[in-house]
Structure 1
Amino acid sequence: MKHKEKPGRRRFLTNGLMLAAGSTLIGPSLFGAPSILKYYNKPNSMINGVQIGVITYSFRSMGNQSAEATLKYVLDCGVSAIELMGDPAEAFAGKPENPVDRKAFSRLWKTKREGKLTRDQEKEMAELQAQTDSYNKQVAAWRGKVPMDAFAKLRKMYNDAGVTIYAFKPSAFKKGNSDAEIAWGMKTAKVLGASHVTVEHPSDDAHTLRLGNMAKKHGIYVGYHGHEQQTPTLWDTALGQSPYNAMNLDFGHYVAAGNKNPLQIIKDKHERIKSMHIKDRQTVAHGKGNLVWGSGDTPIIEALQLMRDNKYAFPATIELEYAIPEGSDAVTEVQKCLAYCRQALK
Structure 2
Amino acid sequence: MSKNKNNGLSRRKFLGSSAALAAASMVPINFAAANPAPKNDNPNSNFGGVHIGAITYSWRTMPGGLENIVKYCKECNISSIELMSGDLETYLGAPESPMMEIFMEIRRQQQAEQEASGEAPQPRRRGRPQLNAEQQARMDKYNEEVRKFRLNVDMKKVESAKKLLDDAGIKPHIVKFSPSQWSDEEIDYAFKVAKALGAKGVSEEISEDAAKKLGPIAEKHGMYAVFHQHMQFADVEGFTYDNFVDISPAVMFNFDSGHYFGSTGKNPCDILRKYHNRIFSIHIKDKTGPETDPPNQNQVWGQGQMPLEEVLLLIKKEKWPIYCDIELEYEVKPWSNAVKEVKTCVNYARQILM
Q: Fold-level match, TM-score > 0.5?
A: yes
Match of 1:255 in 2: 261
Q: Distance in 2 between matches of 1:65 and 1:225?
A: 23
SS in 1 for 2:172: strand
Query: Which of 223, 226, 245 is the matching residue for 1:223?
Result: 226
Match of 1:210 in 2: 213
Match of 2:40 in 1: 40
User: Residues 260 and 266 of structure 2 are in contact (CA less than 8 Å); yes or no, is this contact kept in structure 1?
Assistant: no
Q: Distance in 2 between matches of 1:208 and 1:116?
A: 28
Match of 2:67 in 1: 68
Distance 1:206 1:228, change over 3 A: closer
Residue type at the aligned position of 1:165 = P
Query: Which of 234, 244, 250 is the matching residue for 2:250?
Result: 244
Q: Distance in 2 between matches of 1:298 and 1:334?
A: 17
Query: Which of 271, 281, 291 is the matching residue for 1:265?
Result: 271
1:187-336 aligned at under 5 Å gives the runs 187-201=192-206, 203=207, 205-230=208-233, 233-286=239-292, 287-336=295-344
SS in 2 for 1:343: helix
Match of 1:159 in 2: 166
Query: Which of 183, 186, 189 is the matching residue for 2:188?
Result: 183
Deviates more, 1:72-81 or 1:92-101: 92-101
Match of 1:93 in 2: 92
How much is the aligned-residue C-alpha RMSD, in angstroms? Answer: 2.5
- How many residue pairs match? The answer is 299
Match of 1:28 in 2: none
Q: Distance in 1 between matches of 2:306 and 2:106?
A: 28
User: Residues 257 and 283 of structure 1 are in contact (CA less than 8 Å); yes or no, is this contact kept in structure 2?
Assistant: yes
Query: Which of 149, 170, 195 is the matching residue for 2:156?
Result: 149
1:127-181 CA-partner distances (Å, limit 9, x unpaired): 323322321221111100012221121111111111111110124x13x311111
Q: Tell me by how many angstroms 1:89 deviates.
A: 0.9
SS in 1 for 2:283: strand
Match of 1:35 in 2: none
User: Residues 56 and 69 of structure 2 are in contact (CA less than 8 Å); yes or no, is this contact kept in structure 1?
Assistant: yes
SS in 2 for 1:216: helix
User: Residues 39 and 161 of structure 1 are in contact (CA less than 8 Å); yes or no, is this contact kept in structure 2?
Assistant: no
Residue type at the aligned position of 1:331 = V
Q: Which runs of 5+ in 1 are unaligned?
A: 1-37
Residue type at the aligned position of 1:211 = L
Match of 1:25 in 2: none
Q: Tell me by how many angstroms 1:110 deviates.
A: 8.6
User: Residues 108 and 125 of structure 1 are in contact (CA less than 8 Å); yes or no, is this contact kept in structure 2?
Assistant: no
Q: Distance in 2 between matches of 1:308 and 1:110?
A: 47
Residue type at the aligned position of 1:200 = E
Q: Say yes or no: does 1:345 pair with 2:348.
A: no
Q: What's the TM-score once normalised by structure 1's chain length?
A: 0.81
Query: Which of 100, 121, 131 is the matching residue for 2:138?
Result: 131
- Aligned-pair identity in percent equals 38
Q: Distance in 2 between matches of 1:116 and 1:259?
A: 24
Q: Distance in 2 between matches of 1:322 and 1:216?
A: 36
Deviates more, 1:223-232 or 1:99-108: 99-108
Distance 1:106 1:253, change over 3 A: farther
Match of 1:52 in 2: 52
Q: Distance in 1 between matches of 2:343 and 2:123?
A: 39
User: Residues 105 and 128 of structure 1 are in contact (CA less than 8 Å); yes or no, is this contact kept in structure 2?
Assistant: no
Q: Distance in 2 between matches of 1:293 and 1:56?
A: 18
Residue type at the aligned position of 1:85 = M
Residue type at the aligned position of 2:190 = G
Q: Distance in 2 between matches of 1:325 and 1:240?
A: 44
